[in-house]
Amino acid sequence: MRTNRLKFAANVTRPLLALAAAFALTSLALLSTGVSPLEAYRLVLFGAFSTPVRLSDMIMLAAPLLLCAVGLSITFAGGLYNLGVEGQMIAGAIAAMVPLRLWPDWPPILLWVLAGLSGAAGGALWALLIGALRRYAGVSEIFAGLGMNFLASGLTFYMVLGPWRRQTSASLSGTDLLPRELWLPTLDRLRLAPAAPVIALIALAVVWWALTKTRWGLEVRAVGLNPAAAARLGVAADRRMAETLAACGALAGIAGMLQVVAVHHALISNISSGIGLLGLLVALLARADPRWLLPIAVAFASFTVGSIQLPLTLGIDSAIAGVLQGALVLFALVSRARRS
Amino acid sequence: MHIAVENLTKRFGAVCANNRLTISFAAGQIHGVLGENGAGKSTLMKLLAGFIQPDEGRIVFDNTPRRLRGPGDALVAGVGMVHQEPLDIPAFTVLENLLCAAPPGVFRSRRAAQTALLELAERLGFPVDPAARLDQLTIGQRQQVEIMRLLLCGAQVLILDEPTTGITAAQARALFAALRQIAAEGRTVLFVSHKLEEVAELCHTVTVLRNGQVVPPGQLPMPQPQEYLLELMFGEAGAAPPIYRPLPVIDAPPVWELRNVTVRSGALQLVDLNHRFAAGRIIGLAGLDGSGQQVLLRLLAGQLAPDRGQVLVNGRDLTGAGSLAFRQAGVEYLPADRLHDGMIGALSLADHFALLQHGGLMVDRRRAEELARRAIADYQIKATPITPIAALSGGNQQRAMLALIPPNARGILAEQPARGLDVASARAIWGRLQARRDNGCCVIFSSPDLDEIMEYSDEVIVCFAGRIGPPIPRALLSASRLAELIGGVGFDALVDVAR
């Protein structure tokens, strides 16, 4: 009884301490620039909710972020560190461009579906290459993933400056904009395309169901916990690992597709904008627990959007949102490590 | 250097690996250290070489008590240890390996080190190329390099742990000659082995460890009668008359058949195996650790693919098919370390039954929990269907692992099935395995416990230094004869008779 109460107290106080430590570190960074932390926090924490435009921007960031984090919760369950998620998002964006450029006059709905499928396939393929490197060449998925990120980003530059360059002149800023009718429809005068958050929420629900209710999910978790024992019990461990990578890649690829058809309306050289790696932080903080993915993804997206006003109003760089996000994850990991 | 230990005690959890050991080793001699697995030989050697620190007691070098903080510390004090598996840096050359861990001031220059190395190699009769990379050398050559490295770094005491495992006969002869030379120069050599003939050939004294203690207290001068040493090592085995049942004649095809199989794992190679393992038998694999039992079990489980030859399961050729195919053919492998590769600690028994379900998109939770409940009742497992396996006691984990064997299993491979269990749990586990045998399973198990081998086997196979003996019916075997065979005494004759 007594130990239970103690354990409960520790479970409550540890995350709070981690939260306090993260804010303390960020405040130190703010104080060092001579800015009032309270004023900065007001913008970072609540700025995203101040106007409808900012709110819609936040949702359009949260959607791909959630997709990546949901995908990563699959690979985490399978015991893999898929740092290649950024590259998978880029590969998805490039693959999504293919049908859009090939048949621009087909019906938009068909094209969106095709772009989604193509983006998912591109991301999955990119992830499977990592799986193949791990399985057949003994390369750690962490290093394979990082390498593939560079490759994907190089490929975008090549496409933007080469085969898909602007008709006027090649520019690093990206390809020509897609025809207006191919832009994912948005709410009146806002940049919010409702399809994006809907897709992300559906993905969250499906993955939660697959991981907790299906045989496949149980096998994936078994492989993640102990591949040798799972194999002894008859689970095809290598196959399950490849499947988790492919699933994560597909979701990241769909996130990349959304960046193309709903946000930038073109392939730009920085199409992934670090969303994949931010998704890694979200998944780490949520400990791949699906219940926490949505609130944390929303919080991180609002930090990022809220901090955009910092340079204008307080004259400091918006990167402080990154400091806060990073510090949160760091102290959460420390507090968990101390517990175990 | 004269070394001694006084009341040396080392515990690992509840196990007392060295229990108030008091013993001394004189300089200028080769001292044999004998004992069965788990007797405490390796613990004592690691304590002397600074790899681990004692809980109580002290270590005395030349009448000076020493506290060794690590192997480097021990080497500075004059003690070096050669491990069974070489502990060197494979990507380095012989010379680099010598230089990188040398205590400061030992070598003035690369050239001086090379000259010293070549001189010593000449004296000991070890051919060596200072520029050769270690990963290009054989285990035996790497062992020679390690011995020379320790001597050049100033070792006055050389400890060798099972040095003749994995090296050729010629290398063993060269090693023995070198060790005699080293002892003649006034150094102390500790020779840990389970091969009685080698100890008899080489050593001036012998120390026998049993259950963490020296039996009888103190060193014995060599030679000693072999039977006496065996009795010291294994106790007075075979006092009780054997109870055995006559083996039924079995028509069913053998569960496993090995045809001219050669398989390698690490330093150990099993050559030209031809065996048939019949259904309805319990076959015990006896032998000291690393004599080939584990390799054989992993070969039969499909985890190791043979380099040559064929492995048949139920008459089907499964050579190189992988453990999943073996499992589908009815082979079940029960590893000794239950939570390492046996079961998934964080998952429950019901989860494990769910993992074994075939087909279907969803987990049939209700059926899995029903099966888990039935297994808990049948096997008297103290758990609920949803208790994580890691929270179970060792005996209950072992019962859970047995309960998870599919009913249609034809062959069960068990590594130390009663490891860490109390007598009642061990008996319960064995009752289950015997029931499987009576239903037509072939059960092959390895155990370091000779009593267990003698009590439960229908046939015994002795493994000695990477060689697999012929199956001996339990009825024809006495405990003392088994102890001899494990030590290699009469092993060649046995193999010849079988041919």
Closest chain B residue by Cα to residue A225: B344
Secondary structure (H, E, C), chain B: CCEEEEEEEEEECCEEEEEEEEEEECCCCEEEEECCCCCCHHHHHHHHCCCCCCCEEEEEECCEEECCCCHHHHHHHCEEEECCCCCCCCCCEHHHHHHHCCCCCCCCCHHHHHHHHHHHHHHHCCCCCCCCEHHHCCHHHHHHHHHHHHHHCCCCEEEEECCCCCCCHHHHHHHHHHHHHHHHCCCEEEEECCCHHHHHHHCCEEEEEECCEECCCCCEECCCCHHHHHHHHHCCCCCCCCCCCCCCCCCCCCCEEEEEEEEEECCEEEEEEEEEECCCEEEEEECCCCCCHHHHHHHHCCCCCCCEEEEEECCEECCCCCHHHHHHCCEEEECCCHHHHHCCCCCEHHHHHHHHCCCCCECCHHHHHHHHHHHHHHCCCCCCCCCEHHHCCHHHHHHHHHHCCCCCCCEEEEECCCCCCCHHHHHHHHHHHHHHHHCCCEEEEECCCHHHHHHHCCEEEEEECCEECCCEEHHHCCHHHHHHHHCCCCHHHHHHHHC
Residue B493 is predicted with a pLDDT of 82
Would the CB atoms of A215 and B362 count as touching at under 8 Å? yes
Looking at CA atoms only, how far is residue B366 from chain A in angstroms? Answer: 12
Bridge partners (DSSP) of residue B388 are B348
Model pLDDT for residues A109-125, shown as the tens digit of each residue: 999 999 999 999 999 99
Cα distances (Å, whole numbers) of residue A207 to A68, A115, A227, A249, A257:
12, 21, 21, 13, 19
Write the residue in A222, A228, A231 that is nearest to B347 by C-beta.
A222
What is the pLDDT confidence band of residue A186, given thresholds at 50, 70 and 90? Answer: confident
Would the CB atoms of A234 and B346 count as touching at under 8 Å? no
What is the pLDDT confidence band of residue B29, given thresholds at 50, 70 and 90? Answer: very high
Bridge pairing between strands B205-210 and B308-313: unpaired
Would the CB atoms of B324 and A236 count as touching at under 8 Å? yes
- Please state, as a whole number, how many other Cβ atoms lie within 10 Å of the Cβ of residue A312: 9
Closest chain A residue by Cα to residue B323: A232
The hierarchical CATH code for the domain B3-237 is: 3.40.50.300
Which of B 345-384 lie inside 8 A of A, CB atoms?
345-347, 351-352, 354-357, 360-363
The more confident residue out of A279 and B235 is A279
The hierarchical CATH code for the domain B256-343+404-498 is: 3.40.50.300
Given a cut of 70, is residue A132 above it in pLDDT? yes
CB of B328 less than 8 A from some CB of A: yes
Looking at CA atoms only, how far is residue A220 from chain B in angstroms? Answer: 10
Question: Which residues of chain B have a CB within 8 Å of the CB of A238?
Answer: none
Looking at CA atoms only, how far is residue B496 from chain A in angstroms? Answer: 37
CB of B303 less than 8 A from some CB of A: no
Residue B237 is predicted with a pLDDT of 52
Would the CB atoms of A225 and B347 count as touching at under 8 Å? yes
Given a cut of 90, is residue B360 above it in pLDDT? no
Which of B324, B327, B328, B333 is the best substitution to test chain A (most A C-beta atoms within 10 A)?
Answer: B324
Question: Which residues of chain B have a CB within 8 Å of the CB of A236?
Answer: 324
Which of B 404-443 lie inside 8 A of A, CB atoms?
404
Burial (CB count <10 Å: 0-12, 13-18, 19+), residue B329? buried
Question: Which residues of chain A have a CB within 8 Å of the CB of B354?
Answer: 215, 218
CB of A230 less than 8 A from some CB of B: yes
Question: Which residues of chain A have a CB within 8 Å of the CB of B363?
Answer: 213-215, 218
Would the CB atoms of A228 and B340 count as touching at under 8 Å? yes
Question: Which residues of chain A have a CB within 8 Å of the CB of B360?
Answer: 215
Cα distances (Å, whole numbers) of residue A79 to A73, A209, A278, B19, B65:
10, 18, 19, 42, 49
Q: Is the ipTM of this complex over 0.90?
A: no
Which of B326, B343, B344 is the best substitution to test chain A (most A C-beta atoms within 10 A)?
Answer: B344
- Please give the interface size between A and B, counted as residue pairs whose CB atoms are below 8 Å apart: 62
Given a cut of 80, is residue B422 above it in pLDDT? no
What is the pLDDT confidence band of residue B244, given thresholds at 50, 70 and 90? Answer: very low
Given a cut of 70, is residue A339 above it in pLDDT? no
Would the CB atoms of A234 and B354 count as touching at under 8 Å? no
As a whole number of Å, the end-to-end CA separation of chain A is 21
Tokens at residue B436, please? 């499987």
Residue appearing with tokens 């699906």: A290
Residue A134 is predicted with a pLDDT of 92
Q: How far apart are CA B404 and CA B416, in angstroms?
A: 17
The mean pLDDT value for A67-83 works out to 95
Given a cut of 50, is residue B436 above it in pLDDT? yes
Write the residue in B342, B346, B355 that is nearest to A235 by C-beta.
B355
Percent with pLDDT over 70 in chain A: 96
The mean pLDDT value for B243-267 works out to 75
Q: How far apart are CA A305 and CA A267, in angstroms?
A: 22
CB of A287 less than 8 A from some CB of B: no
Question: Which residues of chain B have a CB within 8 Å of the CB of A215?
Answer: 354, 357, 360-363
Bridge pairing between strands B411-415 and B308-313: unpaired
Given a cut of 80, is residue B369 above it in pLDDT? yes
Given a cut of 50, is residue B239 above it in pLDDT? no
Closest chain A residue by Cα to residue B339: A229
Strand order in the sheet with B308-313: B268-277, B256-265, B308-313, B316-317
**CATH 3.40.50.300 domain span(s) along chain B:** 3-237, 256-343+404-498
Determine contact, residues A282/A325, Cβ cutoff 8 Å.
no
CB of A212 less than 8 A from some CB of B: no
Would the CB atoms of B340 and A218 count as touching at under 8 Å? no
What is the pLDDT confidence band of residue B241, given thresholds at 50, 70 and 90? Answer: very low
Closest chain B residue by Cα to residue A214: B362
